[in-house]
Amino acid sequence: MIDKTKISPNKFIETYTTMVRIRQFEDRVYLLFLEGEMPGTIHLYQGQEAVAAAVCANLRREDLITSTHRPHGHAIAKGVSLRSLMAELFAKKTGCCEAKGGSMHMGDMDVGMLPAIAIVGGGIPVATGLALASKMMHSGKVAVSFFGDGATSEGAFHEAVNMGAIWNLPVVYVCENNLYGASTHQSKVMKIKNVAERASSYGIPGKVVDGNDVFSVYEVAKEAISRARKGKGPTLLECKTYRRGGHSRSDACRYRGKEEEKVWLAKDPIPQARKKLVQLGVLTEKKAKEIEEKVKKEIKDAIEYARRSPSPEPEDTLVNVFVGGEN
């Protein structure tokens, strides 16, 4: 249940706006990509917006996140500028990785997001290490690792969550269970129903939450993050969700059942959130329209910025390999 007293109306609106921002960004990027304006590949986040938005709404700027091959939503929610994200996708010098990374490596240390790690499971130990440093340095920072259901089959997941658990580290493990790792359904790769059940083998709390309900995610994320910050150790959050599109750029999802798709696509997190906010009297349809218009402008601005930004020089390849010198 939504308890209005627990979240301020401003926070509601802010979190909702983040979801809208992610959705519009991804919808535009998809088209730009099809039109051939962006090189490489993309893994889009439509359908999972409630997770990134609600988790990051509970983080401070100096808190840290790690992300995956599907990082656009996390980057937007953590506050990486739309301009630098769009520029990265356009392979421009002004991109958040100076065009070294592209879609799969978005991040910005200025707002607490490591360059996304595209090796499945690879970010989970690193996030645990960020949390270890926070504990050792008494910095009060919390680390959040976002990863998919598929990633929990990697050894890295097991090794890292166990370490986070035994040392009571200020880290939250957020599993976005969208039912598939690429084309492979969850039921083919694990015998349990909920990834969160794995938490018990590390002796930490595991929570299953409707990942398409931004309010539910907000509640459990808030609790897990404050628990972590108080030194009580990690939580494994499993957010049940669904990607609205393909795994990557050219995937027609022929491995997904039509019935399953129908059920899940009807559970779009954004209209659902809007409806509730209107019911609560926090949002009006008029205000919702305004938010959409505002975000549309932001994205237009980001695209224009990306288009007029310079490309990197070929020799920029050589920069930032080592600390203290170019090779």
Ligand X SMILES: Cc1ncc(C[n+]2csc(CCOP(=O)(O)OP(=O)(O)O)c2C)c(N)n1
Q: Is 174 helix (H, G, I), strand (E, B) or coil?
A: strand
User: Does 197 participate in binding another protein (rule CB under 8 A)?
Assistant: no
**Is 186 within 8 Å of 151 (Cβ atoms)?**
no
**Residue 297 C-alpha from the chain's centroid:** 22
Q: Is 301 helix (H, G, I), strand (E, B) or coil?
A: helix
- State which of residues 139, 162, 184, 194 lies at the interface with another protein (CB under 8 A): 184
**Lookup: tokens for 240:** 């049940």
**Is 13 within 8 Å of 214 (Cβ atoms)?**
no
Please choose which of another protein, Mg ion, ligand X, none residue 218 contacts, taking the beta carbon within 5 to 8 angstroms, the exact cut-off set by kind: none
User: Does 211 participate in binding ligand X (rule CB under 6 A)?
Assistant: no
**Lookup: tokens for 129:** 């290490």
Please choose which of Mg ion, ligand X, another protein, none residue 327 contacts, taking the beta carbon within 5 to 8 angstroms, the exact cut-off set by kind: another protein
Scanning 138-146, 171-179, 247-255, 277-285 for contacts with another protein by CB under 8 A, the matching segment is 247-255
Please choose which of Mg ion, ligand X, another protein, none residue 40 contacts, taking the beta carbon within 5 to 8 angstroms, the exact cut-off set by kind: another protein
Closer CB to ligand X, 52 or 199, in the complex = 52
**Is 160 within 8 Å of 127 (Cβ atoms)?**
yes
User: Does 126 participate in binding another protein (rule CB under 8 A)?
Assistant: no
Nearest Cα to 178, choosing from 121, 245, 119, 115?
Answer: 245
Positions 114 through 173 that interact with ligand X (CB under 6 A)? 118-120, 147-151
Please choose which of ligand X, another protein, Mg ion, none residue 255 contacts, taking the beta carbon within 5 to 8 angstroms, the exact cut-off set by kind: another protein
User: Does 125 participate in binding another protein (rule CB under 8 A)?
Assistant: no
Using DSSP, how many helices (H) and how many strands (E) does the chain show? 11, 7
How many Å apart are CA 130 and CA 142, to the nearest integer? 8
Span between the terminal Cα atoms of the chain, in Å: 56
CB of 194 to ligand X, least distance (A): 14
Residue 117, number of CB atoms within 10 A of its CB: 23
How many Å apart are CA 166 and CA 298, to the nearest integer? 44
**Is 67 within 8 Å of 126 (Cβ atoms)?**
no
User: Does 236 participate in binding ligand X (rule CB under 6 A)?
Assistant: no
Positions 31 through 70 that interact with ligand X (CB under 6 A)? 69-70
CB of 233 to ligand X, least distance (A): 24
**Is 207 within 8 Å of 236 (Cβ atoms)?**
yes
Scanning 19-27, 51-59, 102-110, 193-201 for contacts with another protein by CB under 8 A, the matching segment is 102-110
How many Å apart are CA 186 and CA 70, to the nearest integer? 18
Scanning 147-155, 160-168, 215-223, 293-301 for contacts with another protein by CB under 8 A, the matching segment is 147-155
| Sequence-separated (6 or more) residues with CB below 8 Å from residue 224 | 172, 205, 207, 234, 235, 237
- State which of residues 71, 95, 148, 164 lies at the interface with Mg ion (CB under 5 A): 148
**Residue 146 C-alpha from the chain's centroid:** 6
CB of 146 to Mg ion, least distance (A): 11
- State which of residues 9, 34, 40, 294 lies at the interface with another protein (CB under 8 A): 40
Closer CB to Mg ion, 133 or 182, in the complex = 182
∠ at Cα 44 (43, 50), nearest 5°?
135
Closer CB to ligand X, 236 or 302, in the complex = 236
Closer CB to another protein, 301 or 313, in the complex = 313
Which residues of the shown chain bind ligand X in the complex (CB under 6 A)?
A: 69-70, 118-120, 147-151, 178, 180-182, 247
Binding residues for another protein, rule: CB under 8 A, are 39-41, 91-92, 97, 99-102, 104-105, 117-121, 150-151, 153-156, 181-184, 188-190, 249-251, 253-256, 311-318, 321, 327
